[in-house]
Amino acid sequence: DETSLIWITSNGERSLKLAAISKIIPGQRTAVFQRYLRPEKDYLSFSLIYNNGKRSLDLICKDKVEAEVWIAGLKALISSGQGGRSKIDGWSDGGLYLGDGRDLTSNSASDSSVSTTRDISSDISVRFNPNTSSMSLRPENSFHPERTHIASDSTNMQIKGSGSDFLRVSVSSAPSTSSHGSAPDDYDALGDVYIWGEVICDSVVNAVADKDANYWSSRDDVLLPRPLESNVVLDVHHVACGVKHAALVTRQGEIFTWGEESGGRLGHGVGKDVIQPHLVESLAVTSVGFVACGEFHTCAVTMAGELYTWGDGTHNAGLLGHGTDVSHWIPKRISGPLEGLQVATVTCGPWHTALITSTGQLFTFGDGTFGVLGHGDRENVPYPREVESLSGLRTIAVACGVWHTAAI
CA dist., res. 154 & res. 288, Å (int): 31
Q: Where are the domains of the chain?
A: 4-187, 228-407
> Does residue 151 sit in helix, strand or coil?
coil
pTM of the entire predicted model: 0.56
Residues 12-69 pLDDT 10s: 788 888 888 888 888 888 877 877 777 778 888 888 888 877 788 888 888 888 888 8
How large is the greatest C-alpha to C-alpha distance in the chain, in angstroms?
A: 80
Nearest CA to 75 among 287, 304, 344?
287
Q: Residue type at 354? A: A
Residue 401 to residue 372: CA distance in whole angstroms = 9
- Which CATH fold topology does 228-407 show? Methylamine Dehydrogenase; Chain H (2.130.10)
**pLDDT score at 19:** 87
Interior/surface letters 43-81, b for 16+ CB within 10 angstroms, e for the rest: bbbbbbbbbbbbbbbbbbbbebebbbbbbbbbeebbeeb
Is the pLDDT at 188 greater than 60, yes or no?
no
* Rounded CA separation 246/328 (Å): 17
pLDDT score of 143 more than 70: no
Interval 260-315: pLDDT, tens: 999 999 999 999 999 999 999 999 989 999 999 999 999 999 998 999 999 998 88
CA dihedral 136, 139, 142, 144 (to 10 degrees): 120
Quick one: which H or E segment has residue 68? helix 64-81
Name the pLDDT band for 235 (thresholds 50, 70, 90).
confident
CA atoms within 13 A on the CB side of 95: 13
pLDDT of 3: 84
Q: Which residues pair with 20 in a beta bridge?
A: none
**Cα(317)–Cα(176) distance, rounded to whole angstroms?**
44
* pLDDT(132) > 70: no
Q: What's the burial of 335, exposed, middle or buried (CB within 10 Å: 0-12/13-18/19+)?
A: middle
